[in-house]
Amino acid sequence: MEWRAPDYLEQFQCLAGACPHSCCQGWEVVVDEASAAIYRTLPGPLGERLRAALQTEDGEDFFALTDTGRCPFWDEDGLCAIHRALGPERTGEVCRSHPRFIEDYGPLRETSLVASCPEACRLLLSSSAPLTFPETETDEAGEEADPWLGPLLVAREKMLEILQDRSRKIDSRFAELLALAVEAQTLLDEDEAPLLPALCREWTTPVPSCKTDGEGIFPRAWEVLSSLEILGDDWRALLGRGREAVPGAVPEVLLERIVAYFLFRYTLKAVNDGDFLGRVQFALLSVLVVERAASLLPLGEALRLYCREIEHNRDNMDALLSAFRTEPALSLSAFFRTLGLMKVRT
């Protein structure tokens, strides 16, 4: 099996008790079946605590949060009582893997570090080099590839090539990503995925035709985000100030790395539902929102909050993908107008 991950993956080390925004706070902790079986038979006081905290709903086991919004096993020193007493191998699968997100695509496995984790976010933003995703071979046998996987991989590689062409301004690179995504989506809709590699080989930079008159995706994008499920009051407060947000002074190299992060995480998911264009729009919406939020908060905190609220909530993700198809203010023309306005302001 092939395995890909961002080039900073091996640098990651959990901050544990020193983490300023622990993943043990704010989310119910899902407990996998194997761990739940162990917890239900563990003797002693810890076993009693585990059984008292373990709840089941719709066939899923989890630890409900305390009144203070904490995992019941997150001790006052910021460390995990289960990890401390039984070792890391006896913590739940979610706890062992976070902030790693693992996606299997037949013969390919991809691992990413979700930027809602403060340390993962820091690593993403700590370099000005183009973000790369090294590939290695593992001994594990993969499954047969979906016919769309190869063409989508070629399309993603072409997008990263366009994105990381630093001879050009970032606005023109973003606009070209969107233009290529439109053409790629047309082929997918016509069930012509095998033609994607040829499209990428023959692709030439389109002549800019974006008109800057009229509104782009803002300020309506803030209203769409405000209509989604909200986890934290800090995000709610940021959304409330969205209309006053202007693009922050974010270096282009970091905007590029943020988009690369989202392209890597999401574009191959089109193998499941065919929505390649929507995921490219999501990557661009994400960076444009974070860029504006960075005028109100430090860049790392703006990105962390956005990823915490959107990436961990499947309903929020689905709502945004739907909005790109149904909401005029998030239409392709609105995106292109926003990207044209980027050029005007620089």
Q: Distances from the Cα of 314 to the Cαs of 46, 102, 267, 289, in angstroms?
A: 33, 15, 16, 19
Specify the higher pLDDT residue, 76 or 246. 246
Burial class (CB in 10 A: 0-12, 13-18, 19+), 131: buried
Q: How far apart are CA 179 and CA 155, in angstroms?
A: 12
* Contact (Cβ atoms closer than 8 angstroms) between residue 21 and residue 304: yes
Retrieve residue 240's tokens: 């409330």
pLDDT band at 345 (very low <50, low <70, confident <90, very high): very low
Reported as a single tens digit per residue, the pLDDT across 25-57 is 777 788 989 899 989 989 999 889 899 989 998
Residue type, 115: A
pLDDT at 163 over 50: yes
Q: How far apart are CA 248 and CA 287, in angstroms?
A: 11
Phi, psi of 22 (to 5 degrees): -65, 145
Which band of pLDDT confidence, cut at 50, 70 and 90, is reported for residue 344?
very low
d(CA 327, CA 223): 11
- Provide CB contacts within 8 A for 150, sequence distance 6+: 197
**In the numeric block, which tokens belong to residue 34?**
């194997």
Q: Per-residue confidence at 341, pLDDT binned at 50, 70, 90?
A: low
Please report the sign of the dihedral spanned by the C-alpha atoms of residue 199, residue 205, residue 207, residue 208. Answer: positive
Query: Residues 75-87: what's their mean pLDDT?
Result: 84
Residues in the chain: 346
Neighbours of 179 (CB within 10 A): 19
- The phi and psi torsions of 120 (rounded to 5 degrees) equal -65, -40
Closest alpha carbon to 274 in 331, 332, 191, 158: 191
**What phi and psi, each to the nearest 5 degrees, are found at residue 220?**
-60, -30
pLDDT of residue 267: 98
What is the Cα–Cα distance from 43 to 47, expressed in whole angstroms? Answer: 5
Q: Are 66 and 72 in contact (CB under 8 A)?
A: yes
| pTM of the model as a whole | 0.90
Report how far apart, in Å, the C-alpha atoms of 276 and of each of 197, 324, 326 are: 15, 12, 16
Q: Rounded distance, CA 304 to CA 296, Å?
A: 14
pLDDT of residue 342: 63
Which runs of E-coded beta strand occur in 118-208? 135-137
CA 29 from centroid of its chain's CA atoms: 19
Nearest to 318 by CA among 284, 271, 250, 269: 269
Give the pLDDT confidence of 293-331 residue by residue, as tens digits.
999 999 999 999 999 999 999 999 999 999 999 999 999
3-state secondary structure of 6: coil
Q: How far apart are CA 128 and CA 125, in angstroms?
A: 8
Angle formed by the axes of helices 170-189 and 149-163, nearest 10°: 160
Domain boundaries defined on the chain: 2-8+99-137, 24-97, 149-345
Strands (E) located in the chain:
2-4, 29-31, 54-57, 60-63, 100-105, 108-113, 135-137
**Residue type present at position 297:** L
- Residue carrying the six token digits 């800057």: 212
